Amino acid sequence: MNIPFVDLKSQYQSIKGEIDGAIANVIADTAFISGKCAKTFEEDYSSYSGLDHVIACANGTDSLEILLQAMGIGPGDEVLVPALTWISTSEAVGSLGAKAIFVDINEYFTIDASQIEAKITDRTKAIIPVHIYGQPADMKRIMDIAKKHKLKVLEDCAQAHGAELDGIRIANFGDCGSFSFYPGKNLGAYGDSGGMVTNDADIAARARMIANHGQLEKHNHIMEGRNSRMDGIQAAILSVKLKYIELWTERRRANARYYDSILNNIESIEIPKCIEDGWHVYHLYVIRCKDRDGLKEHLEGNGISTGIHYPHPLPAMKCYEDRNLGRNDFPKSYAACDEILSIPMYPELEKGQMDYVADKINEYYQ
Ligand SMILES: *Cc1c(COP(=O)(O)O)cnc(C)c1O
């Protein structure tokens, strides 16, 4: 049996008529950049996320960078980020001439709030918690610390569309939130795109201006900005897909419950741990396992695609080698990187496929 890691083809098949129609409309209207489709998507996503302001942009990395800039982060500033995340989180900080300061993770793979205060200096300006794999970070403790030290909080929501903590949607805790609509994300376009969300009208106005050449109206450049706009076609596709996101999230969650039930008794692996009062949206289903590389090879050999998110903590990367940081500085992140394996997870995944994955995992350890 061949099980892909994600199955964007079968998702497209299930909504092909609507998607094709939406794309044809954009072309007929020649509304290629920003324009009315982007505006409609911004309104749609605002109701979905529960935030007043949504600014569509070119991708989730730009979104992080523009929001940091909109909050006044720049050269000399320090921003706290988890040691285990996708590079965009720290890259956005560095792009502004600020410095990403890494913090180790907890057992849920999110930034360890108990280690944040020790990393705060008089240059620290912000924290970027990442709701990694679809599970909210420890926002209550993070917001307490941020308030106490007057730090800004930008939530990196790229992997967690619709995730909740205590019944509150992510991105409603910090000053603002950043989404990616990269095709493989829970809400994915058919190309690059991203979205900035906030309840803060000043951050929203600045972010919108930065993303569109520093202008609020055409040919009135208040500052030097950049070009980071959403394509009309991507916006139109996202508005169609947004109608299905709740259903797809329910399916991801049901699949996770099923995986939990069939994997729970395999001694050599550990199923994902869930925080209390959290609504995990399972962008990824990440197990911890003994002899990870051997298991991965065994699964691949049996047609099961897997991934490692991520093979190395960010401080271990060449681009941060001048920091001289290592395993002793981030023991939990390093340990996770040795053990984690992302197994197939998407709404269209079927029980028979999950049974097959479990069988092959069992087979490996016997
Ligand atoms: C995907 C991702 C991003 C960046 O998104 P792009 O749209 O690919 O630029 C940022 N942060 C995290 C945690 C991500 O997973």
pLDDT for residue 146: 98
Separation of CA 86 and ligand 1 centre (Å): 7
Taking the centre of ligand 1 as the mean of its atom positions, its distance from the CA of residue 275, in whole angstroms, is 22
Burial profile 147-171: b = 16 or more Cβ within 10 angstroms, e = fewer: eeeebbbbbbbbbbbbbbbeeebbb
Ligand 1: which of 68, 154, 182, 193 to mutate, judged by most atoms within 8 Å of the beta carbon? Answer: 182
Ligand 1 mean position, distance from CA 309 (Å)? 12
What is the model's pLDDT at position 314? 98
Q: Which pLDDT band, with edges at 50, 70 and 90, does 339 fall under?
A: very high
Phi–psi pair at 111, nearest 5 degrees? -55, 135
Residues 296-331 pLDDT 10s: 999 999 999 999 999 999 999 999 999 999 999 999
The pLDDT value given to residue 334:
98
pLDDT at 350 over 90: yes
Residue 180, ligand 1, Cβ within 6 A: yes
In the chain, % of residues over pLDDT 70: 100
Q: Whose CA is nearest to atom 7 of ligand 1?
A: 60
**pLDDT the model gives residue 357:** 98
CA-wise closest residue to 247 among 11, 39, 6: 11
**8 Å CB contact between 123 and 77:** yes
Which of 8-12, 18-22, 34-38, 73-77 has the least mean pLDDT?
Answer: 34-38
The CA-atom distances, in angstroms, between 263 and each of 118, 249, 364 are 37, 21, 13
Interaxial angle between packed helices 8-29 and 232-242, expressed in degrees from 0 to 180 and rounded to the nearest 10 = 130
pTM of the model: 0.98
**Structure tokens, 62:** 């730009």
CA dihedral 156→160→166→167, nearest 10 degrees, is 120
> DSSP state, 285?
E
Distances (CA, A) of 366 to 45, 94, 298, 353, 359: 47, 47, 12, 20, 11
| Cis previous bond, 310, omega within 30 | yes
Mean pLDDT of 169-198: 98
DSSP 5: S
Angle (deg, nearest 10), helices 35-49 and 232-242: 30
pLDDT tens-place string over residues 237-254: 999 999 999 999 999 999
CA distance 215 to 115: 40
Task: Verify whether ligand 1 is closer than 6 Å to residue 85 (CB atom).
Answer: yes
User: Looking at the predicted structure, is the pLDDT value of residue 35 above 90?
Assistant: no
Give the separation between CA 72 and CA 364, rounded to whole angstroms: 52
Instruction: For residue 105, count other CB atoms closer than 10 A to its CB.
Output: 25
- For 220-252, the DSSP string reads -BSS---B---BHHHHHHHHHHHTTHHHHHHHH
Cβ of 130 less than 6 Å from ligand 1: yes
Q: Is 60 in the pocket of ligand 1 (CB under 6 A)?
A: yes
Determine the distance separating the centroid of ligand 1 and the alpha carbon of 59, expressed in angstroms. Answer: 8
User: How many CB atoms sit inside 10 A of residue 353's CB?
Assistant: 18
Ligand 1 midpoint to CA 238 (Å)? 16
Phi-psi domain of 358 (left: phi exceeds 0; alpha: psi -120 through 50; beta: other): alpha
pLDDT for 20 equals 98
Q: Does 180 score more than 90 pLDDT?
A: yes
What value does the mean pLDDT take over residues 127-150? 98
What separation in Å is there between the alpha carbon of 157 and the centre of ligand 1?
9
Sheet with 285-289, edge to edge strand ranges: 269-270, 285-289, 340-343
Please give the structure tokens belonging to residue 66.
Answer: 């523009």
Ligand 1 within 6 A of CB of 88: yes
Cβ 63 under 6 angstroms from ligand 1: no
Report the pLDDT value the prediction gives residue 216, as an integer from 0 to 100.
Answer: 86
Q: Which amino acid residue places its CA nearest to atom 10 of ligand 1?
A: 88
Tokens of 152: 């800004």
**pLDDT at residue 68 in the model:** 98
Mean pLDDT of 142-148: 98
Pocket test for ligand 1, best of 85, 105, 156 (most atoms within 8 A of CB): 156
When pLDDT is cut at 50, 70 and 90, the band that residue 34 belongs to is: confident
- Per cent of the chain over pLDDT 90 is 98
- Report the mean per-residue pLDDT for the chain: 97
Pocket test for ligand 1, best of 63, 66, 128, 159 (most atoms within 8 A of CB): 159
Mean per-residue pLDDT for 199-215? 97
